[in-house]
Amino acid sequence: MSQKESNLPIIGGVIAAVGAGLCCAGPFVLLLLGVSGSWIGNLTLLEPYRPIFILLVLILFGFAGWKVYRPVEACEPGTACAVPQVRKRRQVIFWLTALTALVLVTSNYWIVWFA
């Protein structure tokens, strides 16, 4: 398995999380950048697709978690998943990106406190 294949679920999960958080975090980021106007409240183009993005986040991060935490015995000798340092680094990256995805997916609940 190549390095690109092993990172694909995590990268896909973050992209899906950005899509899920875009409906709420997008207008907030525009306000932080100084872009203002009453039209910003109408930026809800991706709102109907939010459940689909959230489902993609869960599926992709579930698959990535399964790949990161699978038993060492399931790895072929000499591959990256059999090396303890690489496994630890991938686990740290997994949890950092999962936390980022959680912040993006839940942004519509907590972002109102800052706006």
For the stretch 26-71, pLDDT in tens is 666 776 777 766 666 666 666 777 788 788 888 888 988 888 888 8
Angle among Cα 30, 21, 102 to the nearest 5 degrees reads: 130
Given a cut of 70, is residue 24 above it in pLDDT?
Answer: no
Which DSSP state fits 78? T
Q: What tokens does 115 get?
A: 């706006």
Query: At which residue do the structure tokens 């998943």 appear?
Result: 81
The two structure tokens encoding residue 84: 């303890």
Reading the block at residue 55, the tokens are: 């489902």
Predicted pLDDT of residue 1: 47
Q: How far apart are CA 55 and CA 66, in angstroms?
A: 16
Task: Report yes or no: 83 and 39 within 8 Å, Cβ to Cβ.
Answer: no
